[in-house]
Amino acid sequence: MTDMPPKAEPQSSNRWRRFAEWDERPLRYDLFAAENPEAGFSVFRSPYDPAPSLSVEGGRVTVMDGKAEADFDILDAFIAAHHIDPVMAETAMAMDPGEIARRLVDINVPRQELEALARGLTPARLAEVVGRLSALEIAFAYSKMRQRQTPGNQAHVTNAKDDPLQLAADAAVAVALGFDEIETTMRVSSNSWANALACTVGAAVGRGGVLFQCSIEEAEELQIGLAGLASYAETVSVYGTERAFIDGDDTPWSKALLTAAYASRGIKARCTSGAAAELLMGFHEQRSLLYLEARCLCLQRAMGVQGTQNGGIDGAPLTASMAGGVRELMAENLIAVWLGLECASGNDCRTSESEIRVGAKITPYLLAGSDLICSGFGSIKKYDNSFNPSLFNGEEIEDYLLLQRDFQTDGGLTPVEEDQVLGLRVRAVEALAAVMEELDLGTVPRARMMSVVFASGSEETQSYSAGEVTPISAAIKARGITALDVVRALGRRGYTEEAENLLLMLRQRISGDYLQTSALVRDGRVLSAINDPNDYRGPGTGYRMPEPRWQAVQGIRNVLTRERVLAAENVVGEAVGQAAGEADWLVPAGVAAKGSDPHEVVIGVSPAFARQLHQTTAGHALSDVVAALVDGIEAGGGTARLVRMMHTADTSFLGLAAARLSGSGFGIGIQAKGTTVLHQADRMPHMNLELFSNAPLTGLEHYRALGRNAARHTYGEAPEPVMVPTHGEALGARFHVRVALLYAIETGLIDLTVHPIELTYRPARPVTEAAQ
């Protein structure tokens, strides 16, 4: 975005300033639509929607949703002829819609029974039934009704330059991340053949069986598929009004013919539809979004297509702008799987600038699972996504990986190691360069390849421009280069594994196994609704991540262990001249006795302080922290004494024990991680005078000020408490894992039989210098 949210108004404005702060959040980019059926803005129900109805005479539909056969438009005619099951219709339409809704969420009613029932329901009745379900019930019903048991995911692989080298490298990474399908498109339409070739080679690096699509004009896409440079298509658009169909020079029959053409050549095909498409095109007929999408989905089942890409798609941001719109997107996905279609369940379009809304939108699909959770997760950066930014993009891949781990659910992706990624990117660009040279499409300079290997996006590369790609693409098309030519080229140049991976997909084209409903290829084997059916019937059934898969999902970065924490502490210790064990600047000097100096402040340190642990969570060396405390105490007119407590690691009790040993009755307790308390001997344990609870934000100047305050208390003064500022940082997420491990080390050293130990303090440099 080039525009920024409006700036906060001056403080003199006659307005609660919180609104000005809210105005600066990304959410302010989002605009929202009011309910307006006349203009097509209605989600679940419009007063212009027809009432559900059906009459069948002699096996022929004569009335459907309030319209007589003579008045049917092309959609009605196609649905009546090819979707409605006249045998099932009498039973299905006679059932109470509330009862059907309850069956959708009843774990005792099998999926197959409900699918059969759907074949007798009209679009209006389907919309009415799912409209009765809450968002939670829709997600639950979806988990039961989706076709394939094992979840999958699909990636967008594009870039702003149509650079084939970057496409190959990014396709290889998408494959490594676990995407089962990758889809590309281009900024310049004439570059389609080069994009297809690049992604085909990149997808073959590291893993076989990934399905690939080149999204372009339908006739061109079919030619690319016939050449073996694509294995699926999902750009067959279907609409919920007759005028929208006709505006695109199409009919349900022409679309059915096209999907049959794909399937006849072993190319898996899905249709695309989704709420708000008709509204964007201006042909909404004042009907609700859900009713129009129910028509689309009935058409798709009637066409005999394998699956659907729905859930708003390009219209998702418009749908999400309406009250209940995100729930509607879930509801249309539910109709899709209820009708027995594979569902690539949208989530491919950025519906909001708010990361909170984005995360909330994906959550039901992660929990319920889906045949393809995203019909286009942007595996590249937002600016390189030629489809426009997806719900999730390359910037947010690690966030998504963490969501899988958080919920212990399979979102279809697997963490990757840095070295693994670099190896794949090198292999992919070298393989593509070899193919291009072998097929006489050009010689790729090494500098171009390496600029792509390390680049996060096209703004960082010195590789092909879109104009340079066009003649390469034209040559591929003109010379009739096919995937078999690519296999030969890979084999001749020594890329045997990649050649075998690509050949695996061509063999699958001949067998046609992945034309089954909800099919994908894993480890060279087709998984579909036929051999991997979703059998969810309640707890303990359906998909559960196998243990190896769960272990793989957990393999994210930033996982701390006790060993890693101690290793970091030892490095810090060595960096400041300390050994890995006990520091030489705090020397045990026998059992600590109670002091008599009325201005003495005892600093009580924890069991692991400067022994196994040597820095605070803010990164301050403990030697510097002690120097700051001592300097503050002396600046306030007090005398500092250090004592190690072995009977406790609790901050409050460290401070209380220190205060009771102090001649003044005032003491400071400090843990190795930096949490600090100022206490008085006659107080209750947790009724301290001052507390630094946010150690990661506490600086040396705060410790010095606390020491001075402690000394001034010994003179009977009441100094202003030291405040450590916080600005809403998620300190728990940043530090609690480390804190828990650090505290476990502390408590592991507790010995209730050991009396407090007097410590001789030997500062490495003058106290005032260390405390600065």
The residues annotated as belonging to the active site are 154, 156, 183, 234, 309, 348, 375
- How far is residue 645's CA from residue 239's CA, in Å, rounded to a whole number? 74
Distances (CA, A) of 197 to 47, 153, 217, 229, 266: 50, 22, 17, 6, 18
Alpha carbon 608 to chain centroid, angstroms: 39
Query: C-alpha angle 425/428/434, rounded to 5°?
Result: 140
SS3 content of the chain, % helix, strand, coil (to 5): 45, 10, 40
Phi and psi torsions of 258, nearest 5°:
-65, -45
Distances (CA, A) of 135 to 57, 132, 163, 639: 38, 10, 42, 65
Query: C-alpha angle 477/478/481, rounded to 5°?
Result: 55
Contact status, residue 236 vs residue 269, Cβ threshold 8 Å? yes
Q: What is the bridge-based pairing of β-strands 307-309 and 268-272?
A: parallel
Contact status, residue 167 vs residue 159, Cβ threshold 8 Å? yes
Alpha carbon 97 to chain centroid, angstroms: 36
Q: Is 383 exposed, middle or buried (0-12, 13-18, 19+ CB in 10 A)?
A: middle
- The amino acid occupying position 402 is L
Alpha carbon 65 to chain centroid, angstroms: 40
Instruction: Give the number of other CB atoms < 10 A from CB of residue 322.
Output: 22
Instruction: Give the number of other CB atoms < 10 A from CB of residue 203.
Output: 32
Q: Which long-range contacts (CB under 8 A, 24 or more apart) does 719-728 make?
A: 721/689, 721/690, 722/690, 722/692, 724/692, 724/694, 724/697, 724/698, 724/699, 725/697, 726/694, 726/697
- How far is residue 350's CA from residue 29's CA, in Å, rounded to a whole number? 12
Q: Reduced to 3 states, what is the DSSP secondary structure of residue 383?
A: helix
- How far is residue 725's CA from residue 404's CA, in Å, rounded to a whole number? 34
- How far is residue 98's CA from residue 744's CA, in Å, rounded to a whole number? 55
Q: Is 219 exposed, middle or buried (0-12, 13-18, 19+ CB in 10 A)?
A: exposed
- How far is residue 208's CA from residue 665's CA, in Å, rounded to a whole number? 73
- How far is residue 466's CA from residue 509's CA, in Å, rounded to a whole number? 31
N residues, the chain: 772
Distances (CA, A) of 395 to 355, 362, 382, 461: 12, 16, 8, 17
Alpha carbon 301 to chain centroid, angstroms: 31
- How far is residue 738's CA from residue 566's CA, in Å, rounded to a whole number? 10
- How far is residue 272's CA from residue 183's CA, in Å, rounded to a whole number? 14
Query: How big is the chain by its Cα radius of gyration, in Å?
Result: 33
- How far is residue 640's CA from residue 573's CA, in Å, rounded to a whole number? 24
Handedness of CA 670, 675, 678, 684 (dihedral sign): negative
Contact status, residue 53 vs residue 122, Cβ threshold 8 Å? yes
- The amino acid occupying position 612 is Q
